[in-house]
């Protein structure tokens, strides 16, 4: 396929800015994501949560930070979006829910490295750089990291925050694509690869792992990673890897598999992919310590282990897969499979709103040529458009059901007639439009109704997406407010309980004080020595009864 001049122009610009590539590190807290990120970049870019020192840059002159770490999730305290705040690793655990951060770096590769690192793609052809006909020397690398997974009592919030973030990156590209006038400075931040760090339990996958990987795989190529692999003996590691892969098969988790196509792939690619498939899940050992030779090592009581040693860690292989052999493959799969599916679903849903609106207008015998924006506005005001109903296909699940909160279950309730109706009519409407366009060449005329429907879609999409984001933020705020109200209520109850306890104590003390005065009175005025001896035997319970009756009874 020949490239148009404008496409070539855009590619040249991309080349100048660097090829955008995003990797997401997800996993429970403490699984070694930060150490791994620093090892991946061979540079102390990221501070650890427990370390108060900001890392001294750079260990690696080829890595330049273009945009420092910032919070990109909508995570708020007092209703102020935290993405305006700078990220502070030592305070991350104080935030509710989880935090997602993004750091953009420019990785320079000299021509030799560009040849070896980013040249061989899965189909044996040359990759990103050479396919574009220019020598690549820059990758605009966006590293996204999650913080705080597994720290909350209820981890359901994590799923929502991560998928909302990934979805938002897709939406931004979709909105940009449908604009008549595109922004030449638009930055594509869609995630190409998600590395999911599995805790080294030695057993297999947990429900959280299965659910998280399933959700991630709708938006990115997911690679499961065995974290802190030095926790195992050789045999234990082999067993753990096997258990993980068995669970992935059993629960139908659509991770990225290094599959081969004997008809398409050359022998070398087939052998490489087969070896990588056998190695999956990659087991990594990470460290922030360097030995005197400048190599990253983990120093144990019994000696040092080099983290690049392929005998003990798959880190080197993984690096090569990410930046070398599968660089282009990951980009292509995300764009051509994951994003395209998402886009088709999204546009279908928007098309349906338009179709419904036009139907409603024609039923009311009004002009059906209303502009899309007003269609959209009326959808919102009439409540026909429910932003929270994402119609993207859910992957088939055999997972044991994970409890979802009430709002979720309402949103995703298959029995919900509105959602089902919307979904069915979207498909019908969309198929109809596509069929009409395919079957009738005349329909491609500038004035045809299908053409105008498509134009309406492209005009409507950015507004729909923007509205959805506003609604999502509003929902998030409401959730946070509800959470604060619950916490406040709990605190009030605790304080009331404490106050009651204090009151009781005060009463007891006063009683005891009165009892003390009574006994001293008795000892002072009583002539009978027995009475004064009996007085200290008054029990605590008795002290609560009427002092006068005790005194009169015993006197």
CA pair distance 461, 469, nearest whole angstrom: 12
Q: Between 229 and 350, whose beta carbon lies closer to ligand GTP? A: 229
User: Of 172-211, which residues contact ligand GTP (CB under 6 A)?
Assistant: none
For ligand GTP (CB under 6 A), the number of binding residues is: 14
Q: Which stretch binds ligand GTP (CB under 6 A): 33-41, 351-359, 398-406, 464-472?
A: 33-41
Q: CB of residue 147 vs ligand GTP: minimum separation in angstroms?
A: 5
Q: CB of residue 47 vs ligand GTP: minimum separation in angstroms?
A: 9
Q: CB of residue 38 vs ligand GTP: minimum separation in angstroms?
A: 8
Which one of residues 19, 22, 33, 43 is an interface residue with ligand GTP (CB under 6 A)?
Answer: 33
Q: CB of residue 29 vs ligand GTP: minimum separation in angstroms?
A: 4
Q: CB of residue 27 vs ligand GTP: minimum separation in angstroms?
A: 6
**Taking a C-beta distance cutoff of 8 angstroms, is the pair 203, 239 a contact?**
no
CA pair distance 220, 335, nearest whole angstrom: 9
Residue 197 has φ and ψ, to the nearest 5°, of: -85, 120
**Considering the rule CB under 6 A, would residue 315 count as an interface residue with ligand GTP?**
no
Q: Between 286 and 355, whose beta carbon lies closer to ligand GTP? A: 286
**Considering the rule CB under 6 A, would residue 306 count as an interface residue with ligand GTP?**
no
**Taking a C-beta distance cutoff of 8 angstroms, is the pair 296, 287 a contact?**
yes
Please name the residue that has the structure tokens 């990220």. Answer: 87
CA pair distance 89, 51, nearest whole angstrom: 8
CB count in 10 Å sphere of residue 174:
19
Q: Between 101 and 168, whose beta carbon lies closer to ligand GTP? A: 101
Give the three-state DSSP class for 469.
Answer: helix
Sign of CA dihedral 65, 67, 71, 73: negative
**Taking a C-beta distance cutoff of 8 angstroms, is the pair 178, 172 a contact?**
no
Q: Between 72 and 350, whose beta carbon lies closer to ligand GTP? A: 72
**Considering the rule CB under 6 A, would residue 97 count as an interface residue with ligand GTP?**
no
* Residue with nearest beta carbon to ligand GTP: 32
On the CB side of 274, CA atoms within 13 Å amount to 9
Q: CB of residue 35 vs ligand GTP: minimum separation in angstroms?
A: 4
Q: In the chain, how many H helices and how many E strands? A: 18, 12
Q: CB of residue 303 vs ligand GTP: minimum separation in angstroms?
A: 14
Which one of residues 40, 45, 255, 285 is an interface residue with ligand GTP (CB under 6 A)?
Answer: 285
Which one of residues 31, 132, 136, 358 is an interface residue with ligand GTP (CB under 6 A)?
Answer: 31
Strand partners, 450: none
Which one of residues 8, 11, 17, 29 is an interface residue with ligand GTP (CB under 6 A)?
Answer: 29
Q: Which stretch binds ligand GTP (CB under 6 A): 29-37, 183-191, 237-245, 380-388?
A: 29-37
**Considering the rule CB under 6 A, would residue 117 count as an interface residue with ligand GTP?**
no
**Considering the rule CB under 6 A, would residue 228 count as an interface residue with ligand GTP?**
yes
Which one of residues 32, 324, 429, 462 is an interface residue with ligand GTP (CB under 6 A)?
Answer: 32
Q: CB of residue 235 vs ligand GTP: minimum separation in angstroms?
A: 18
CA pair distance 218, 393, nearest whole angstrom: 9
CA pair distance 470, 384, nearest whole angstrom: 17
Please name the residue that has the structure tokens 């059901």. Answer: 401
CA pair distance 325, 59, nearest whole angstrom: 25
Residue 86 DSSP label: B
Instruction: Show the tokens assigned to 60.
Output: 């690696």
Residue of 85, 410, 338, 289 whose CA lies nearest to 191: 338
CA pair distance 356, 460, nearest whole angstrom: 14
Residue 401 DSSP label: P
Which one of residues 161, 230, 356, 459 is an interface residue with ligand GTP (CB under 6 A)?
Answer: 230
In terms of DSSP H, where are the helices of 298-391? Answer: 315-320, 327-332, 340-363, 372-382
Radius of gyration for the alpha carbons in the chain, expressed in angstroms and rounded: 32
Q: CB of residue 139 vs ligand GTP: minimum separation in angstroms?
A: 22
**Considering the rule CB under 6 A, would residue 162 count as an interface residue with ligand GTP?**
no
Q: CB of residue 366 vs ligand GTP: minimum separation in angstroms?
A: 56
Which one of residues 10, 11, 17, 49 is an interface residue with ligand GTP (CB under 6 A)?
Answer: 49
**Considering the rule CB under 6 A, would residue 245 count as an interface residue with ligand GTP?**
no
Q: CB of residue 461 vs ligand GTP: minimum separation in angstroms?
A: 35
Q: CB of residue 148 vs ligand GTP: minimum separation in angstroms?
A: 7
CA pair distance 549, 555, nearest whole angstrom: 10
**Considering the rule CB under 6 A, would residue 147 count as an interface residue with ligand GTP?**
yes
Which residues lie below 8 Å from residue 317, measured CB to CB, with a gap of 6+?
A: 276, 279, 282, 310
Which one of residues 19, 23, 35, 175 is an interface residue with ligand GTP (CB under 6 A)?
Answer: 35
Binding site for ligand GTP (CB under 6 A): 29-35, 48-49, 147, 228, 230, 285-286
């Amino acid at each position: 396929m020949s490239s148009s001049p404008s496409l070539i122009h855009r590619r040249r610009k991309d080349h100048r800015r660097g090829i955008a590539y995003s990797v997401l590190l997800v996993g429970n807290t403490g699984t070694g994501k930060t150490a791994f990120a620093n090892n991946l970049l061979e540079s102390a870019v990221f501070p650890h949560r427990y370390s108060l020192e900001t890392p001294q840059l750079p260990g690696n002159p080829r890595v330049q930070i273009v945009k420092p770490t910032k919070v990109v999730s909508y995570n708020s305290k007092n209703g102020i979006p935290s993405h305006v705040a700078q990220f502070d690793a030592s305070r991350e655990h104080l935030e509710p829910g989880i935090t997602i951060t993004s750091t953009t770096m420019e990785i320079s590769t000299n021509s030799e490295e560009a040849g070896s690192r980013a040249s061989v793609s899965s189909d044996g052809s040359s990759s990103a750089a050479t396919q574009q006909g220019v020598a690549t020397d820059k990758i605009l690398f966006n590293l996204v990291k999650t913080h705080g997974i597994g720290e909350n009592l209820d981890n359901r919030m994590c799923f929502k925050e991560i998928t909302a973030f990934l979805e938002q990156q897709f939406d931004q590209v979709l909105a940009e694509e449908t604009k008549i006038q595109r922004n030449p400075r638009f930055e594509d931040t869609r995630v190409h690869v998600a590395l999911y760090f599995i805790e080294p339990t030695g057993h297999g996958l947990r429900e959280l792992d299965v659910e998280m990987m399933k959700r991630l795989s709708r938006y990115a190529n997911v690679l499961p990673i065995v974290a802190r692999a030095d926790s195992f003996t050789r045999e234990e590691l082999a067993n753990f890897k096997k258990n993980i892969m068995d669970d992935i098969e059993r629960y139908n988790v659509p991770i990225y598999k290094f599959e081969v196509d004997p008809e398409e792939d050359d022998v070398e690619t087939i052998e490489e992919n087969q070896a990588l498939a056998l190695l999956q899940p990659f087991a990594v050992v990470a460290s922030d310590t360097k030995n005197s030779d400048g190599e990253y090592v983990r120093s144990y009581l019994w000696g040092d282990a080099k983290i690049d040693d392929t005998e003990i860690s798959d880190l080197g292989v993984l690096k090569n897969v990410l930046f070398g052999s599968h660089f282009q493959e990951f980009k292509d799969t995300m764009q051509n499979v994951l994003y395209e599916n998402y886009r088709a679903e999204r546009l279908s849903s928007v098309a349906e709103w338009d179709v419904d609106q036009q139907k409603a207008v024609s039923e009311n015998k009004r002009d059906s040529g209303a502009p899309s924006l007003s269609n959209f506005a009326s959808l919102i005001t009439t409540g026909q458009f429910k932003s929270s109903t994402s119609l993207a296909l859910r992957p088939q699940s055999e997972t044991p059901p994970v409890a979802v909160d009430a709002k979720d279950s309402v949103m995703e309730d298959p029995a919900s007639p509105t959602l089902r109706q919307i979904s069915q009519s979207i498909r019908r409407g969309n198929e109809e439009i596509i069929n009409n366009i395919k079957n009738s060449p005349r329909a491609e005329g500038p004035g045809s109704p299908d053409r105008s429907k498509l134009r309406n879609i492209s005009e409507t999409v950015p507004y729909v997406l923007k509205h959805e984001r506003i609604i999502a933020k509003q929902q998030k705020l409401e959730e946070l407010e509800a959470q604060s109200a619950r916490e406040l209520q709990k605190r009030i109850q605790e304080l009331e309980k404490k106050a009651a306890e204090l009151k009781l104590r005060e009463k007891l003390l006063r009683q005891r004080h009165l009892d003390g005065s009574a006994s001293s009175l008795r000892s002072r005025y009583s002539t009978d020595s027995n009475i004064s001896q009996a007085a200290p035997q008054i029990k605590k319970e008795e002290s609560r009864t009427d002092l006068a009756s005790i005194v009169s009874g015993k006197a």
